[in-house]
Amino acid sequence: MGLIQTLLGTLTSTSFLPILIATLILTPVIYRLYLHPLAHLPGPLLYCFSSLPLYTICYLGIESRTLSYYHSKYGKVLRIAPNHVSISDGSAIHTIYVASGGFMKDARYHNFNLEGTATIFSSTDPAYRDARAKAVLPMFASGRVRGSGDEGGVMKQCIDEFILQFKAEKEMAWKAGPKGDANVDILDLSAKLSLDVVTGYLFNRRFGGLNEHAEDLKKREQDSNKEKKSSKLSLNPFIFTVVAFGRFSLFPNWLFKLCYRTSIRLNADEKLFASLVKIGTFVNGVVDDVKPKDDTYPSRLLAVGISKEETIKQCKAVMFAGTDSTSVKLATIIFHIIQNPNVLQRLKQEITELGQDPATDPQTFPYMRAVIREGLRLGVANSTRLTRVVPPSGFEVNGYYIPAGVVIGISPWMVHHNPELFPEPFKFRPERWMEDKKGTNGEVDLETDKRRKEMERDLIPFGTGSRACIARNLATHQLFMTVRALVESDVLVGAKTVKKRIEIIEWFNAEIKGHELEIQWT
């Protein structure tokens, strides 16, 4: 007993205390650097023994560009935290996300639960997710989606209203002259369109984003001296708040919840409260009014036994996803078309030649396909790594073995901006998608064919595999139909962008800086 007391006294003595503290700190550092199963992977020193640097770049919204720099320095497989790995090699996409259903989502996705409920997107349980996804997937079948863009379809109606508002803004800009308030926020207009399309198509009831400020627009048309009021979408505070929580998305769930509650208390204002009330009233009304014979998103969920309370939350989740990501992509495409008048002219020529019949599907237009693809490449709505957990069998990539349980992921932003595959990666060049795969002698150019296949493999704007965005067909068709309508209307002629380039904050859901993307006519 006396010996034990002596030892304890020595360990807690003032002279030994610094050594004890240093040992407690250095032991996990030494383990993570030299003994950890990932110790053989390259990566910046601080990232290898602490998660703090990764959390920091995630919070600051610079994750993808920072990791891109380190990949250029260390290689295509990069250790970015004690148990996290980033991969920049597109050849790994199929194994991680597609083959046999892909690797499982990691615990990070619990941070994307809506009001404490796992959504189709955030669920990490395949059985839970499949029960809900299978119920609604028929609504996203290609044939059904394309019917919404036909004459009389809800998508066609929404796009027609969108074009009319665009034309009215252009007309008022011309009348106002160089000193007038001629700026138009194409990101906000795109959000209003996307919200009405997704709600009108899935709920059979439009939210009414395009109509929220129609009366003010009409008054300004009648009186050019009428002051322009704020005309932003009322749902924006809800959308921006959800997007901003992405800065905490890598935190452990307990820490995320703490940051979430603190952020809400500090940042909540009347606009956010009004936005939450409005979306709640709208979705509650939609679900309350479901009839037994309805064929809508909520009716399909209710029909397979999903509770009314959860159905409301699933509807809110799909409203957010369908509005935010599609609006970012559409606004990005419009922005680059305006900045490249030659693209607009070539699109006009193609539509004139191939689209004389309004029923012709614009997805069959080769140059428009190239424009949309290039816009999707640059308009990355989910910019950071799509994280997954390595299965029990482990995973080998680029000569490195990664053991089970490690969190890995590939960033869409990173593969979309790979200079080896996309020369001048930050430039909008639709022609890169139209390179002829045949040589001068008519034979297939194997190198060009290989590069094209790799480009298509690495283009993942909606994710890929079984956990890809379930609404990708709806979003894609909306993009094609809207671009066609814009080009046919000539509303973009004479327009110019206020900013020279689009700046994004690289949270899980990328945010365009300033929440706006303005254009004007001169």
Measured distance CA(369)–CA(347) in Å, rounded: 10
Range list of β-strands (E), 292-418:
386-389, 395-397, 400-402, 407-410
Measured distance CA(419)–CA(385) in Å, rounded: 18
Q: What kind and span of H or E run contains 86?
A: strand 84-87
Question: What amino acid is encoded at 25 in this protein?
Answer: I
The answer to whether 429 and 375 are in contact (CB under 8 A) is: no
The residues near 61 (Cβ < 8 Å, ≥ 6 apart) are 247, 504, 505, 506, 507, 511
What are the backbone dihedrals phi and psi of residue 185, each rounded to the nearest 5 degrees, phi first?
-90, 100
What is the DSSP pairing of strand 84-87 with strand 407-410?
A: parallel
What is the DSSP pairing of strand 511-512 with strand 84-87?
A: unpaired
What does the block give as tokens for 514? Answer: 């300033």
Measured distance CA(206)–CA(203) in Å, rounded: 7
Annotated binding-site residue? 259: no
Measured distance CA(250)–CA(80) in Å, rounded: 12
In the block, tokens 């028929």 appear at: 138
Measured distance CA(82)–CA(75) in Å, rounded: 18
What does the block give as tokens for 191? Answer: 């959000």
In the block, tokens 């921006």 appear at: 240
Detail the residues annotated as belonging to a binding site for heme: 469
Detail the residues annotated as belonging to a binding site: 469
